[in-house]
């Protein structure tokens, strides 16, 4: 059982046909995606075919991460290079739990380039920053630097000023240890993930610009979610743009406000929602009135969905390709428990095929 | 299906064919005129030139650094959608999709991405697989990676070096080997800020010269058809013609390819200490028959520089326009993305002239290759203008009149009357690249070649002729008509597959487990990961 129209079980081709009909009829379809590179590749191609606007399921988390790359740029490194070369690791703010294994592996090793040496850790904290997890802290023995009174961007501002030997009005915890260590480090690396604000990112990269005038330093960017970052990369090569992007005019248009799928749904611009996720734990948002096509791991029809199709997961049910922060690039993910569940890629191919017989409406 | 291209003027210097004659296609291959058989389809090509599909040997069209550039500069692409065509970045070919279409429309059917980091190979090939119509290939980067530098430091045997080079080429599915500012990226991680040919990477005690020599020799021993592709030291720096001269001198009578020589054509004369040494370099190239070069012509306007020469890109960040850039300390080379606008000022004018001097003063069109180092000197969409500059002295003169005269006075450009003939263009963009890359099946129109064919309508307007091909065939499929893509298909990535010694696989396994705590399969991938039918086509090494 892999397909439903409403709550009625149907053969997969019937569900595909129904989904294709809805896509063809829609004047303003929106897609929320969460799949591997192949799944995203096919869904973005489908978006172009039907003039859809697309974003990642967790697009809201991506906005500042994308903006860092589109507006600021900066210094970056791969985790593999960091593992071998960083003599100082500075964790900036909070790093999501999904990356704790990566951080643990950095804490379990010492640099071997350009020669064997020690690795020292700092954790830059603002008033809302959580402590490093117990296990990581036991291994890394990170020295906290920062302030429990200031937001993280202000802490970074003080650190930047202090590194540039400018007088700062506030005193941070352990600032002398931090300044002394970074000033003498050969390859300090600032590890960061998604901040809620652009100011922190600007401040951090500004600090790296300053340090690099005389010495080397770089940053390890750990996206909030590797699959989401893979989708960003795929969108960028396929259309020239990261999400949020849409094909409502035929050509890809990148506009983080205009192409905000949630906004389009709330504003009743969208008339069809294709929601795709390979994760077990997430359910599509329930919205009355908006026809929804759902590709999901669930073995039950999604309540309220016009069409539900059960899919497999890349790297589990079938082979896939995913972004991996561990190596800073794409990685082939072999099926761990091969199954007959169709991949997103296969379903989308069938949808595209079914759409060939339909006249696609446009906005 | 038997296809007849009738009555066009064939330009096929490789086979010594010229003048009006028919070309026949069957099963995607060019065939002899069949005896007593009628064509299923005939195209009347009277009033047209017929050439093999063009081949670009050096154009940054895909991979991590290229994608980072796209990500950094959405406004460049956004701008292009609204602006009229023919302004430089209006047609940058920014997405994979546009890249394939725009190349095909100009009659290009094979393009080489010249800077693939081996660790980024899967990503690069995924992007290339999304470029429609044309065939692609990659050069894999070595020469700043710890494994090779350690081997050179430890005086590893030639056999061990060859095993590693072969394994890298094979696992990354490359068509050749590139070295980018040998040793400099590794040195930059140790805070070295300038790096010349005889400078040494501190912790390895290995010089740039030594790295180039080791790789050049290995490529030769392995029978990799394309000679080592060298991006030399000191790119963009006044006085760097001396570095290029040293590098040419180090070719030692063996094949060596120097990339984007224009960026090394600078002396220190003149009030600004920035002058042209192109004439001297051209003479050196003319006198060293084993050396080939591509130009990396600068054309004016907005572009973005994408390079794995991290030391150079770091110093370029000062002049970024718009003011943002990315500096990436990756495994081995890493990369830097710096947007840049070439202005018709002193520096821009000089760079523009140096490129043209090289094109026009290097005598042998078999050894000078047509590139803008896309997008570093200009987007590849500027090619039609560049063809015109090479083929029409009056077009050069007209452009020179707009430029900074004090810069042009330090060049020989005004005195050069040479105009490229169509025959020479066909050599430079078809026959020679095929030969340089070891692709016997293309670059000419002889029987047995794949039917990659570009048909151009004769006319006074050279730019128009080369921008909008009348017809383009890829493997016998008609893909472009009157400059418009009419049929989409997927090309392949051309690759070598030198056999890997079992010992090296074991060593690489141990190395990756030891240094990264990860098994080797994190860094390798099966062909099926590309998820397209036959994504690769194998090219043979020379025995
Ligand atoms: Zn290049």
Question: pLDDT tens for residues A311-338?
Answer: 999 999 999 999 999 999 999 999 999 9
From the CA of A3, how far away is ligand 1's center (Å)?
A: 49
Between CA A241 and CA B172, with CA A326 as vertex, the angle to 5 degrees is: 75
From the CA of B314, how far away is ligand 1's center (Å)?
A: 16
The answer to whether the complex's ipTM is over 0.90 is yes
Overall domain count for chain B: 1
The tens place of each residue's pLDDT in chain B, 543 residues long, gives 999 999 999 999 999 999 999 999 999 999 999 988 899 999 999 999 999 999 999 999 999 999 999 999 987 654 444 333 433 333 345 899 999 999 999 999 999 999 999 999 999 999 999 999 999 999 999 999 999 999 999 999 999 999 999 999 999 999 999 999 999 999 999 999 999 999 999 999 999 999 999 999 999 999 999 999 999 999 999 999 999 999 999 999 999 999 999 999 999 999 999 999 999 999 999 999 999 999 999 999 999 999 999 999 999 999 999 999 999 999 999 999 999 999 999 999 999 999 999 999 999 999 999 999 999 999 999 999 999 999 999 999 999 999 999 999 999 999 999 999 999 999 999 999 999 999 999 999 999 999 999 999 999 999 999 999 999 999 999 999 999 999 999 999 999 999 888 999 999 999 999 999 999 999 999 999 999 999 999 999 998
Number of H helices, E strands in chain A: 12, 17
CB A321 to CB B529 under 8 A?
Answer: yes
DSSP state of B152: H
- Nearest by CB to residue B189, choosing from A108, A216, A334, is A216
DSSP state of B112: E
d(CA B161, CA B504): 10
CB B78 to CB A254 under 8 A?
Answer: yes
d(CA A29, CA A273): 6
From the CA of B309, how far away is ligand 1's center (Å)?
A: 9
What is the predicted pLDDT for the residue at A289?
Answer: 85
Four-CA torsion B167, B168, B174, B176, nearest 10 degrees:
-90
Provide the CB-side half-sphere exposure for A301 (13 A, CA): 18
CB A240 to CB B528 under 8 A?
Answer: no
Token look-up 């007959």 returns A340
Which of these, A13, A194, A332, lies nearest to B531 by C-alpha position? Answer: A332
Provide the CB-side half-sphere exposure for B364 (13 A, CA): 14
What is the predicted pLDDT for the residue at B121?
Answer: 98
Q: Residue A55 has which token pair?
A: 């974003």
Which of these, A75, A148, A88, lies nearest to A118 by C-alpha position? Answer: A88
Four-CA torsion A258, A261, A266, A268, nearest 10 degrees:
70
- Nearest by CB to residue A80, choosing from B81, B126, B516, is B516
Beta pairing partners, A296: A310
Is residue B67 included in any domain, yes or no?
A: yes
Taking contacts as CB-CB distances below 8 angstroms, the residues of chain A near B515 are 83-84, 112
Q: Where are the alpha helices (DSSP H) in B230-306?
A: 241-249, 278-287
How many angstroms from the chain centroid is the CA of residue B178?
A: 11
B5 phi and psi, to 5 degrees?
-100, 105
CB atoms within 10 A of CB B293: 27
DSSP string, A164-176: TT---SSPPBTHH
**Residue B158 Cα distances to B141, B148, B173, B203, B250, angstroms:** 19, 12, 22, 22, 19
d(CA A340, CA B467): 48
- Please give the radius of gyration of chain B, using alpha carbons only, rounded to the nearest integer: 22
- Chain B nearest CA to A318, separation (Å): 11
From the CA of B262, how far away is ligand 1's center (Å)?
A: 12
What is the predicted pLDDT for the residue at B484?
Answer: 95
d(CA B355, CA B363): 14
Q: Report whether pLDDT(A285) > 90.
A: no
Q: Strands across the sheet with B325-329, in order?
A: A73-77, B325-329, B335-342, B301-307
| pLDDT confidence band for A1 (50 / 70 / 90) | low
Strand A3-5 and strand A8-9: pairing?
antiparallel
What is the predicted pLDDT for the residue at B80?
Answer: 42
- What CATH number has the domain spanning A73-221? 3.40.50
- Chain B nearest CA to A65, separation (Å): 11
From the CA of B68, how far away is ligand 1's center (Å)?
A: 15
Instruction: Collect all residues with Cβ–Cβ distance below 8 Å to A176 and sequence separation of at least 6.
Output: none
Q: Find out whether the peptide bond into B322 is cis, omega within 30 degrees of 0.
A: yes
What is the dihedral sign for C-alpha A33, A36, A38, A41?
positive
d(CA A124, CA A93): 6
Q: Where are the alpha helices (DSSP H) in B454-532?
A: 462-467, 502-516
Beta strands in B238-350 (DSSP E): 256-258, 266-267, 275-276, 291-294, 301-307, 325-329, 335-342
Q: Residue B374 has which token pair?
A: 């896309």
Using DSSP, state whether B380 is helix, strand or coil. helix
CB atoms within 10 A of CB B198: 12
Which of these, B250, B158, B244, lies nearest to B212 by C-alpha position? Answer: B250
What is the predicted pLDDT for the residue at A283?
Answer: 84
Between CA B494 and CA B501, with CA B499 as vertex, the angle to 5 degrees is: 145
**Can A3-58+226-355 and A73-221 be said to share one CATH topology?**
yes
d(CA B336, CA B339): 10
Q: Report whether pLDDT(A360) > 80.
A: no
CB atoms within 10 A of CB B168: 23
Token look-up 């650094």 returns B65
Instruction: Collect all residues with Cβ–Cβ distance below 8 Å to A266 and sequence separation of at least 6.
Output: none
Instruction: Collect all residues with Cβ–Cβ distance below 8 Å to A38 and sequence separation of at least 6.
Output: A314, A320, A321, A343, A344, A345, B531
What is the predicted pLDDT for the residue at A169?
Answer: 81
Domain formed by A3-58+226-355, architecture:
3-Layer(aba) Sandwich (3.40)
Q: Residue B402 has which token pair?
A: 């707009």
CB atoms within 10 A of CB A135: 12
d(CA A121, CA A142): 4
Instruction: Collect all residues with Cβ–Cβ distance below 8 Å to A88 and sequence separation of at least 6.
Output: A119, A120, A121, A122, A181, A182, A185, A187, A188, A189
CATH number of the domain residue B111 falls in: 3.20.20.140
Instruction: Collect all residues with Cβ–Cβ distance below 8 Å to A163 and sequence separation of at least 6.
Output: A179, A182, A183, A207, A210, A211
What's the average model confidence in pLDDT over A170-185?
Answer: 94
CB A109 to CB B517 under 8 A?
Answer: yes
**Residue B490 Cα distances to A117, A121, B70, B307, B484, angstroms:** 49, 49, 22, 27, 17
Q: Tens digits of per-residue pLDDT, A6-50?
A: 999 999 999 999 999 999 999 999 999 999 999 999 999 999 999
Q: Residue A299 has which token pair?
A: 């073995």
- Nearest by CB to residue B326, choosing from A74, A215, A242, is A74
What is the predicted pLDDT for the residue at B76?
Answer: 66
CB B329 to CB A77 under 8 A?
Answer: yes
Which of these, B338, B343, B347, B341, lies nearest to B316 by C-alpha position? Answer: B338
Using DSSP, state whether B203 is helix, strand or coil. coil
CB A186 to CB B123 under 8 A?
Answer: no
Provide the CB-side half-sphere exposure for A172 (13 A, CA): 31
Q: Decide: B310 and B333 in contact? Cβ < 8 Å.
A: yes
Q: Residue A252 has which token pair?
A: 């890809």
Q: Report whether pLDDT(A128) > 50.
A: yes
Domain interval for residue B67? 54-438
Four-CA torsion A109, A115, A119, A124, nearest 10 degrees:
-120
From the CA of B182, how far away is ligand 1's center (Å)?
A: 14
CB A327 to CB B330 under 8 A?
Answer: no
CB B77 to CB A331 under 8 A?
Answer: no
d(CA A147, CA B26): 75
Between CA B331 and CA B340, with CA B337 as vertex, the angle to 5 degrees is: 160
Token look-up 């005690």 returns B205
Q: Residue B421 has which token pair?
A: 């003939």
Listed by start position, the domains of chain A span 3-58+226-355, 73-221
d(CA B255, CA B289): 8
């Amino acid at each position: 059982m892999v397909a439903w129209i409403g709550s009625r079980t149907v053969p997969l081709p019937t569900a595909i046909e129904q989904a294709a009909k809805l896509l063809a009829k829609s004047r303003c379809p929106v897609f929320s995606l969460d799949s591997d590179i192949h799944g995203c590749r096919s869904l973005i191609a489908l978006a172009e075919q039907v003039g859809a606007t697309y974003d990642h399921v967790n697009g809201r988390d991506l906005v500042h991460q994308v903006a860092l790359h589109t507006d600021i740029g900066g210094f970056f490194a791969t985790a593999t290079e960091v593992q071998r070369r960083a003599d100082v690791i500075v964790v900036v703010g909070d790093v999501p739990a999904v990356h704790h294994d990566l951080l643990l592996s950095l804490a379990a090793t010492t640099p071997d380039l350009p020669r064997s040496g020690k690795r020292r850790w700092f954790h830059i904290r603002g008033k809302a920053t959580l402590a490093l997890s117990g296990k990581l802290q036991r291994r890394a023995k990170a020295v906290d630097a920062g302030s429990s009174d200031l937001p993280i961007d202000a802490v970074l501002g003080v650190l930047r000023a202090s590194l540039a030997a400018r007088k700062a009005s506030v005193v941070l915890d352990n600032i002398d240890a931090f300044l002394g260590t970074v000033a003498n480090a050969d390859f300090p690396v600032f590890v960061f993930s998604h901040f809620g604000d652009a100011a922190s990112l600007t401040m951090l990269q500004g600090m790296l610009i300053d340090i690099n005038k005389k010495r080397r330093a770089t940053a390890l960017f750990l996206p909030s979610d590797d699959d989401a970052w893979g989708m960003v990369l795929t969108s960028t090569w396929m259309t020239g743009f990261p999400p949020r992007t849409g094909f409502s005019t035929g050509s890809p248009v990148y506009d983080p406000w205009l192409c905000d799928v949630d906004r389009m749904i709330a504003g009743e611009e969208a008339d069809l929602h294709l929601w795709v996720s390979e994760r077990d734990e997430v359910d599509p948002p329930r919205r009355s009135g908006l026809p929804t096509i759902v590709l999901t791991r669930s073995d039950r029809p999604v309540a309220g969905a016009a069409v539900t199709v059960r899919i497999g997961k890349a790297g589990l049910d079938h082979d896939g390709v995913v972004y991996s922060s561990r190596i800073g690039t794409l990685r082939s993910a072999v099926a761990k428990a091969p199954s007959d569940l169709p991949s997103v890629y296969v379903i989308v191919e069938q949808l595209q095929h079914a759409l060939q017989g339909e006249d696609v409406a446009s906005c | 299906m038997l296809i007849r291209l009738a009555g066009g003027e064939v330009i096929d210097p490789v086979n010594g064919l010229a003048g009006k004659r028919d070309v026949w296609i069957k099963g995607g291959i060019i065939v002899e005129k069949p005896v007593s058989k009628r064509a299923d389809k005939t195209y009347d090509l009277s009033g047209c030139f017929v050439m093999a599909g063009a081949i670009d040997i050096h154009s940054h069209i895909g991979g991590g650094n290229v994608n980072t550039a796209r990500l950094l500069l959405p406004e460049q692409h956004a701008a292009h959608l609204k602006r009229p065509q023919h302004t430089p970045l209006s047609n940058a070919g920014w997405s994979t999709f546009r890249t394939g279409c725009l190349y095909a429309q100009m009659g290009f059917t094979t393009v080489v991405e010249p800077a693939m980091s081996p660790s980024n190979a899967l990503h690069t090939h995924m992007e290339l697989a999304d470029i429609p119509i044309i065939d692609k290939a990659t050069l894999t980067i070595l020469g700043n990676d710890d494994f090779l530098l350690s081997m050179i430091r430890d005086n590893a045997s030639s056999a061990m070096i060859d095993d590693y080079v072969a394994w890298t080429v094979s696992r990354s599915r490359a068509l050749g080997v590139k070295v980018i500012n040998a040793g400099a990226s590794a040195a930059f991680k140790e805070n070295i800020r300038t790096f010349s040919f005889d400078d040494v990477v501190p912790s390895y005690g290995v010089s740039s010269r030594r790295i180039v020599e080791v790789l050049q020799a290995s490529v030769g021993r392995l029978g990799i058809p394309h000679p080592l592709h060298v991006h030399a030291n000191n790119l963009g720096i006044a006085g760097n013609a001396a570095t290029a001269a040293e590098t040419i001198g180090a070719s030692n009578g063996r094949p060596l390819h120097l990339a984007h020589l224009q960026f090394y054509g600078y002396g220190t004369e003149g009030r600004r200490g920035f002058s042209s040494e192109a004439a001297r370099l051209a003479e050196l190239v003319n006198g060293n028959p084993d050396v080939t070069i591509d130009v990396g012509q600068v054309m004016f306007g907005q572009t973005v520089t994408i390079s794995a020469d991290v030391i150079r890109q770091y110093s370029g960040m000062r002049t970024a326009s718009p003011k943002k850039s990315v500096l990436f300390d990756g495994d081995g080379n890493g990369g830097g993305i710096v947007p840049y606008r070439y202005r018709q000022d002193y520096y821009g004018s000089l760079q523009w002239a140096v490129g043209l001097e090289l094109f026009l003063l290097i005598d042998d069109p078999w050894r000078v290759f047509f590139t803008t180092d896309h997008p570093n000197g200009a987007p590849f969409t500027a090619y039609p203008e560049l063809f015109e500059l090479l083929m029409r002295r009056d077009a050069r003169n007209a452009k020179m009149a707009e430029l900074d005269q004090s810069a042009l006075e330090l060049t020989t450009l005004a005195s050069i009357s040479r105009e490229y003939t169509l025959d020479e263009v066909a050599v430079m963009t078809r026959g020679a690249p095929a030969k340089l890359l070891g692709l016997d099946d293309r670059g000419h129109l002889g029987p047995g070649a794949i039917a990659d064919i570009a048909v151009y309508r004769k006319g006074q307007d050279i730019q128009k002729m080369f921008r909008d091909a009348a017809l383009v065939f890829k493997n016998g499929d008609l893909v472009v008509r009157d400059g418009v893509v009419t049929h989409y298909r997927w090309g392949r990535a051309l690759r070598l597959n030198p056999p890997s010694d079992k010992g090296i696989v074991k060593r690489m396994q141990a190395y990756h487990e030891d240094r990264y705590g990860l098994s080797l399969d994190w860094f390798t991938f099966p062909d099926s990961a590309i998820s397209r039918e036959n994504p690769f086509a194998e090219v043979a090494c020379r025995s």
